[in-house]
Amino acid sequence: MDTSLHSVDSSDDLQALAQRVSAGVQQVETYISRLKRVHNTLSFAGIFSSAATTLLTGWTSAAGPLWGNDVSAWRLTCIAAAVLGFLTTLFMGVNQQLQGRERLSRAQECLGRLKSLDFALLTRTQNLQDAWKDFADILRKYPEELR
């Protein structure tokens, strides 16, 4: 009778851990999606503003200012190019400061470990005590990804 009670406790523990791991997988997938969206948006904005700067300055050097031919047209063109250059620097700098690639790599690593643990729990190829230890290690190593 004591062993059946122990197996029920183990089954409950297994289910509790499986639920926490599954919730962690969903949480990290959402985190990865958000990181990708921010990183891609900043990268695209930086590339777009850089291309616009190049196009504006190239066109201006070949054909003159887009808005007239007097000194104020040149001034306006230079201001537009400076603003676009500033935006390029800003978008790329913010993207670098956020360390998107590095954070995305860590999040992918965390997701891989969680999915591996989830599979081990599903197939019961790992004992419960070791699975709890692995989960605790994941929680300790990836606090940003799992908050």
Q: Are the C-beta atoms of residues 117 and 28 closer than 8 Å to each other?
A: no
60 is a domain residue = yes
* Helix-helix angle 100-123:128-141, to 10 degrees: 170
Residue 13 lies in a domain: no
Give the pTM.
0.79
Residue-number span of the structural domain to which 43 is assigned: 18-141
> How many structural domains are present in the chain?
1
CB within 8 Å of 124: residues ≥ 6 apart: 14
Residue 11 lies in a domain: no
Report pLDDT digits (tens) over 47-69: 999 999 999 999 999 998 888 88
The residue ranges of the chain whose pLDDT is under 70 are: 1-9
For residue 9, how many C-alpha atoms fall within 13 Å in the half-sphere facing its CB? 7
| Residue 147 in domain | no
How many residues are recorded in the chain?
Answer: 147
**Does a structural domain hold residue 122?**
yes
Residue 8 lies in a domain: no
For residue 94, being part of any structural domain is answered with yes
Residue 7 lies in a domain: no
